[in-house]
Structure 1
Amino acid sequence: MILRQVTSKDFDWIVENYIDVFSSEPWNDDLEVKQIENYVKELFEMNTFNGFIAEVDNNMIGASLGYIKPWYQGKEYALDTFFISKKFHSKGFGSQFLSLIKKELLKENIPAIILDTDRGMPAETFYKNNGFKVSEESIIMFCDVSK
């Protein structure tokens, strides 16, 4: 597996595969192309955006979309989206991809990754199996400001 930085040439592949992965089991999200195009475009436009592509045999198989976030103890990689194309699921590619990302972040002096995921979903187990811990001190909160 090869790890490389995301480029604008990857945009269509990312959108297509994001929809393919997250509209399927176990997520079953109702996604529209325009919605995901806007999401990915806005991430790409962030001045702190940092994304990675996993390639096997010159074929893209996974993407990691996130951004570098300042923190009082240094920088963190906020992992916003991580996926492996469906036909490559359950073959160890996700763990391998994440391991390569960790090594690359350490080279860039970024010692931590933060993320949120849905409790009870397979992703929770995946991240725990790859060295992530559930924070006992933190919770994720949200507020719908339209109400």
Structure 2
Amino acid sequence: MDSFEECIDLYIKVFNSAPWGENWSYEVAKERLDDLYHTPKFVGYTLYNNDKLVGFIAGNQKRTPQGIVFYIAELCINSQVQGQGYGSLLLESLEKELKNNDVTSIHLLTSNGGLAESFYLKKNYSINKNRVVMNKSL
């Protein structure tokens, strides 16, 4: 199985389970990830443990008057290994690479409360009071 297919399967498994409880079909998840992959200035990383996909992170860059901004579109970690440092490893690897490529900040959207928001807050992201937009200067 190639990594794109593995990412689709993992995405469905994670986001159709608690706490998200969404209803992703294969076709919709494939279209979402395919669209993301084909977004201009796409950057994405996969993470494997013993030849098994445990997670991925992906998004795209955009230039602004303040510099280059990266928008994280997806961070997906296998529910069975969440809390074991894989999300941190992916996020920190992405941040390092972006910083080396003159990206000035990272932005993302996530839901209020819960594990995702807590995760990003621990990583020094901040909350925009008008919406749940989080960012971090690099």
Considering the TM-score relative to the shorter chain, is it more than 0.5? yes
1:62 — aligned with what? 55
User: Which structure 2 segments of 5+ residues have no match?
Assistant: 133-138
Match for 2:65 among 69, 72, 81? 72
Deviation at 1:123, TM superposition (A): 0.3
Name which structure has the greater RCO, CA cutoff 8 Å, separation 6+.
1
1:51 — aligned with what? 44
2:131 — aligned with what? 139
1:13 — aligned with what? 6
TM-score by length of 2: 0.87
Paired residues in the alignment total 132
SS in 2 for 1:111: strand
SS in 1 for 2:20: coil
Q: How far apart in 2 are the matches of 1:30 and 1:116? A: 19
* Rg (Cα) greater in structure: 1
Q: How far apart in 1 are the matches of 2:43 and 2:58? A: 6
User: Which structure 1 segments of 5+ residues have no match?
Assistant: 1-8, 141-147
Query: What CA RMSD, in Å, does the superposition of the two structures yield over aligned residues?
Result: 1.7
Q: How far apart in 1 are the matches of 2:66 and 2:51? A: 37
Q: How far apart in 2 are the matches of 1:57 and 1:104? A: 24
Deviation at 1:111, TM superposition (A): 2.4
TM-score by length of 1: 0.82
| Percent identity of paired positions between Structure 1 and Structure 2 | 24
Preserved CA contact (<8 Å) 2:43 2:59: yes
Q: Higher strand fraction: Structure 1 or Structure 2? A: 2
